[in-house]
């Protein structure tokens, strides 16, 4: 099976199916990363589309020097930073997003376990939303993009130690929130 990098190069060479494969693989994680970073459905859709459009337009200049995911999430990060900057860096909300779909409950036959699981998810969602911006982004890049601390540093333009530290803080806070 072709790697992401090979698929992107194939798309740049004119293979439309390669892009469909790439998109199918990355659309969910990228969408959730954007959604949880900006926290409103409308903005997330606009930014998500814009990120892909930029990737499409930059296909001719794509060089697989880094992982495709690092490149894609770097574009996403830059787009989100532009979005924040355009709004004076105050747009980030920690409120729960009413437009977002309800989190699905884990499969469980027991009603009281379902309720407990649901509460856990609610606490987790609230804890993610309450994370400082850079920690939340590090956590999402790790969970959704599968990026390592070094790749998070590269995608966000941060120092690797800083990226590690942000990820560690985020994980600890979220573990506390769900009682792990």
Partner 1 sequence: MRSVSESGDKLTRAYRDLSREEPTPALDRAILAASQRALRRPSLARRWAAPVSIAAMLVLAIGVTLEMQHEQPGIETSAPQRGAIPPRAVEPQPAPLPQAQAPVTPEPQPKLKREPVAPPPATAPRAKREAIAPPREAIAPAREASPRIEAAPERIAPATPPMQAPAAAAGAAAAPAPAAAPAPAAADMQAPAASNVARPQALRAAPAVAKELRAQSEEERELERIATLRAQGRDTEADKALQEFRRAHPDYRIPDTIWERVKPR
**Other residues' Cβ atoms within 10 Å of the Cβ of residue 31:** 18
Supply φ then ψ for residue 36, to 5 degrees. Answer: -80, -15
**Other residues' Cβ atoms within 10 Å of the Cβ of residue 140:** 23
Q: By C-beta, is 2 or 106 nearer to partner 1? A: 106
Q: How much of the chain is helix, strand and coil, in % rounded to 5?
A: 70, 0, 30
Report the C-alpha gap between 48 and 93 in whole angstroms.
18
Per CB under 8 A, contacts with partner 1 among 10-69 are 11, 14, 16, 19-20, 23, 25, 27-29, 31-32, 35-36, 45, 48-49, 51-61
Which one of residues 120, 129, 160, 165 is an interface residue with partner 1 (CB under 8 A)? 120
Residues near partner 1 (CB under 8 A): 11, 14, 16, 19-20, 23, 25, 27-29, 31-32, 35-36, 45, 48-49, 51-61, 71, 74-75, 78-79, 81-82, 85-86, 100-101, 103-106, 117, 120-121, 124-125, 142-146, 148-149, 157, 167-168, 171, 174-175, 178, 180
């Amino acid at each position: 099976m072709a790697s992401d990098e090979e698929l992107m190069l194939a798309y740049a060479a004119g293979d439309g199916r390669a892009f469909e494969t790439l998109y199918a693989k990355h659309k969910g994680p990228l969408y959730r990363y954007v959604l949880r970073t900006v926290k409103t459905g409308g903005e997330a859709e606009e930014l998500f589309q814009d990120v892909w459009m930029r990737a499409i337009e930059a296909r001719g200049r794509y060089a697989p020097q880094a992982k495709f995911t690092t490149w894609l999430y770097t574009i996403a990060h830059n787009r989100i930073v532009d979005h924040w900057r355009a709004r004076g860096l105050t747009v980030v909300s920690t409120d729960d997003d009413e437009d977002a779909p309800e989190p699905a409950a884990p499969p469980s036959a027991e009603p009281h376990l379902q309720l407990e699981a649901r509460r856990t998810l609610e606490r987790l969602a609230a804890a993610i939303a309450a994370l400082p911006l850079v920690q939340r982004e590090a956590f999402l890049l790790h969970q959704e993009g599968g990026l390592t601390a070094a790749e998070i540093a590269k995608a966000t333009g941060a120092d690797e130690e800083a990226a590690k530290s942000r990820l560690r803080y985020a994980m600890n806070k979220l573990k506390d929130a769900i009682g792990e």
